[in-house]
Amino acid sequence: MSVLDSKVPHGPLADKWTEHKNHINLVNPANKRNIDVIVVGTGLAGSSAAATLAELGYNVKTFCYNDSPRRAHSIAAQGGINAAKNYQGDGDSNFRLFYDTIKGGDYRSREANVHRLAEVSGNIIDQCVAQGVPFAREYGGLLDNRSFGGVLVSRTFYAAGQTGQQLLLGAYSALNRQINRGKIQPFNRHEMLDLVLVDGKARGIIARDLVTGEIERHGAHAVVIASGGYGNVFFLSTNAMGSNVMAAWRAHRRGAYFANPCFTQIHPTCIPVSGEHQSKLTLMSESLRNDGRIWIPAKLEDAEAIRAGKKSGVDLAEEDRDYFLERRYPAFGNLVPRDVASRAAKERCDAGYGVNKTGEAVYLDFAASFLRYGKIEALTSGHKDANEAEIVALGKKVIEKKYGNLFDMYRNIADENPYEVPMKIYPAVHYTMGGLWVDYNLQTTIPGCFAAGEANFSDHGANRLGASALMQGLADGYFVLPYTIGDYLADEIRTGAISTETAEFDAAEKVTRERIEKLMNGSGTHSVDYYHKKLGLIMWNKCGMSRNATDLQSAMDEIAALRADFWKNVRVPGTTDTKNQELEKAGRVADFLELGELFAKDALTRNESCGGHFREEYQTPDGEAMRDDENFAFVSAWEYNENPREAKLHKEDLMFENVELVTRSYK
């Protein structure tokens, strides 16, 4: 078992990044013009990286499977973005943001990376405002903040429930500016199908034009993978339908280690599944937990009556309700981190207290907030003798301003009015903390292949705190990668243009074409979705919110069998030389069928409970996660094997020099 070198700079934590930047190699502006960089993915990390690299002078090509970079799934992030600005004067600092993030990740992330993230967080907000991102403001004209789970300060910047949209459109505008200057060539409706290595270095990609079906070769001095997470291995998730692991997995197949695949975030507040036809799940932002209270009936008979449609939640008296998060975790209440909230909801529903037809839903109730905000609004608007109905009406207006789009979305999907009855929510797969292993420079184990944003594993440990994903995506893309990549590219100034007419490109293209042929030539028994849904069910039941050794072992066996069946019997209609969405899906599901098995293997290897990874064998008597720092304070980085259960484990030991490892308590 080799030990991985994280290349974390020496020196005091708070000085590492500055010192590192002062000492890494730079590429002079004239030489940058002769260097090409490929960026795969145009979400927050990809767009911001591509724009910044182009500003610096590199020639950039971007690739995305959508018809426009603006449609990357960062667009759907709702709640907000963290930054240690301390505008609220509530004692926030870089160190606090660093500490909360390390603790929130259950001490399974790298100190130096997380501190760097906190350090640049403020710059992100400055940059976005300068770009014209319309964040929410207070009446005085200054930026507004809200709170998110797992922290005790207000450091989250937001734009209604559409923060991801506004940030992505900001990055997209920076991208467009460089496209207009000819510094970025966008390849939209394109998919990366392979990474090409020459002499052990990443030198380009094989891509498919999704409209014409043409297989293309693109050479570059470095390749950045910013293709997002792999939550769709569960079939049902809050990811977009097309979100996939292909780019990252192809890099993995070529030698990039894949880290912590089992660290997956199950988000507590999503709209519950309504039936078998369900194609995806919709998140209700965590920001709603600022104002909504989560509860279930205290008595089993009430829960049964509600499920049978004989009672409604609003009928229950206060004393018949169990606000289980406030009860179990009085210090953080409804704002405990996502993993904790999700497990607590599952525990109550498994015990029979669920409140919808399937028994898998809890209430998220805003009644108390209508009153609280209504009272303030009545007083400040001069209605000092308003009655309760008037107060509630005023309170609803305040809530509408804060979360109107989320309430509308809920009403549309669930066909219930959340202003009148409490929302019903249940946990769903949302974000993947695992991803390509990267060192401090965001370089994978393949020289010249970098990974940014959700596609890498680096900053969130075993659990991601709310409003941290947007922060990490933009930190990587705007402020980290464009500089660290220079350290590598400084050695490339004499390389010259990368030719794609080489044996390596020939070989990679051949493999790609053969793979497509094989997908087209299945016996045609079942559709791609048939396999994807089966895989999702195995993942959800056996690798979901709680896991045990027996289930994980059988998940590995079932996934391996399903994968073999897929390659033999899948049906991909149509041809390869036109737009063919079934072929696109088939390629993605083929990768998920490998990743799923590695995921289960990783979960089986990690004999502890930490963050989103809850092993039933390792829990305290009151059901809290039991971490094992002595044996598992490391990053699992897996070396590819086409039989994922045979993948080789490499470890990066995590050193904690600035925080004390304590039991993560939110009580």
513-532: which residues touch other proteins (CB under 8 A)? 524, 527, 529
Report yes or no: 243 and 228 within 8 Å, Cβ to Cβ.
yes
Decide whether 283 or 508 has the Cβ nearer to other proteins: 283
74: left (phi over 0), alpha (psi -120 to 50) or beta: alpha
Number of CB atoms found within 10 A of residue 376's CB:
13
Q: Does 143 bind other proteins (CB under 8 A)?
A: yes
Q: Given the residues 70, 116, 293, 338, select the one marked as catalytic.
A: 338
Decide whether 113 or 145 has the Cβ nearer to other proteins: 145
Applying the rule CB under 8 A, the residues between 281 and 300 that interact with other proteins are: 282-283
Which segment (134-142, 328-336, 387-395, 490-498) binds other proteins by CB under 8 A? Answer: 134-142
Decide whether 159 or 335 has the Cβ nearer to other proteins: 159
Report yes or no: 107 and 6 within 8 Å, Cβ to Cβ.
no
Q: Does 150 bind other proteins (CB under 8 A)?
A: no
Decide whether 42 or 463 has the Cβ nearer to other proteins: 42
Among this protein's residues, is 338 annotated catalytic? Answer: yes
Q: Does 614 bind other proteins (CB under 8 A)?
A: no
Decide whether 197 or 455 has the Cβ nearer to other proteins: 455
CB of 203 to other proteins, least distance (A): 27
Q: For residue 601, give every residue at least 6 positions away whose Cβ sits within 8 Å of its Cβ, in sequence order, or none.
A: 552, 556, 638, 644, 645, 647
In whole angstroms, what is the distance from residue 479 CA to residue 121 CA?
9
Q: Does 218 bind other proteins (CB under 8 A)?
A: no
Q: Does 227 bind other proteins (CB under 8 A)?
A: no
Q: Does 423 bind other proteins (CB under 8 A)?
A: no
Angle at 543 between CA 648 and CA 306, to 5 degrees: 170
Report yes or no: 395 and 383 within 8 Å, Cβ to Cβ.
no
Applying the rule CB under 8 A, the residues between 8 and 37 that interact with other proteins are: none
**Of 12, 22, 91, 142, the one binding other proteins by CB under 8 A:** 142
Applying the rule CB under 8 A, the residues between 162 and 181 that interact with other proteins are: 162, 165-166, 169, 172-174, 176-177, 179-180
**Of 28, 33, 134, 200, the one binding other proteins by CB under 8 A:** 134
Token digits for 595? 């990743």
Strands in 123-248 per DSSP E: 156-157, 184-187, 190-198, 201-209, 215-219, 222-225
In whole angstroms, what is the distance from residue 203 CA to residue 194 CA?
11
Decide whether 293 or 532 has the Cβ nearer to other proteins: 532
Query: Angle, to 10 degrees, between the axis of helix 481-489 and the axis of helix 44-56?
Result: 50
**Of 160, 225, 246, 262, the one binding other proteins by CB under 8 A:** 160
Q: x/- binding map, residues 307-346, to other proteins, per CB under 8 A? A: ----------------------------------------
CB of 325 to other proteins, least distance (A): 25
Token digits for 586? 């088939």
Token digits for 371? 């009153």
Token digits for 228? 């997002």
Query: Angle, to 10 degrees, between the axis of helix 388-414 and the axis of helix 367-380?
Result: 130
Tokens 């467009």 correspond to what residue?
176
**β-pair partners for 259:** 435, 637
In whole angstroms, what is the distance from residue 114 CA to residue 512 CA?
37
Strands in 22-68 per DSSP E: 36-40, 59-63
Q: Supply the DSSP symbol for 424.
A: E
Decide whether 219 or 522 has the Cβ nearer to other proteins: 522
Q: x/- binding map, residues 480-519, to other proteins, per CB under 8 A? A: --x-------------------------------------
**Of 413, 421, 490, 562, the one binding other proteins by CB under 8 A:** 413
- 201-209, strands of its sheet edge to edge: 190-198, 201-209, 215-219
CB of 442 to other proteins, least distance (A): 16
CB of 144 to other proteins, least distance (A): 9
**Of 10, 23, 277, 384, the one binding other proteins by CB under 8 A:** 277
Q: Does 200 bind other proteins (CB under 8 A)?
A: no
CB of 343 to other proteins, least distance (A): 25
Q: Supply the DSSP symbol for 208.
A: E
Judging by DSSP bridges, how do beta strands 59-63 and 184-187 pair with one another?
Answer: parallel
In whole angstroms, what is the distance from residue 560 CA to residue 524 CA?
19
CA neighbor of 406 nearest in space, from 166, 159, 136:
159
Q: x/- binding map, residues 621-650, to other proteins, per CB under 8 A? A: ------------------------------
Amino acid, res. 13: L
In whole angstroms, what is the distance from residue 309 CA to residue 352 CA?
15
Decide whether 34 or 176 has the Cβ nearer to other proteins: 176
**Of 29, 91, 140, 621, the one binding other proteins by CB under 8 A:** 140
Applying the rule CB under 8 A, the residues between 69 and 88 that interact with other proteins are: 69-73, 75-76, 85, 87
DSSP element (H, E) containing 629: helix 629-632
**Of 67, 315, 517, 557, the one binding other proteins by CB under 8 A:** 67
Decide whether 238 or 441 has the Cβ nearer to other proteins: 238
In whole angstroms, what is the distance from residue 178 CA to residue 184 CA?
6
**Of 279, 380, 389, 622, the one binding other proteins by CB under 8 A:** 279
Count, residues near other proteins per rule CB under 8 A: 82
**Of 5, 11, 132, 662, the one binding other proteins by CB under 8 A:** 132
3-state secondary structure of 102: helix
CB of 421 to other proteins, least distance (A): 16
Tokens 């030719």 correspond to what residue?
499
Q: Does 409 bind other proteins (CB under 8 A)?
A: yes
Active site residues: 338
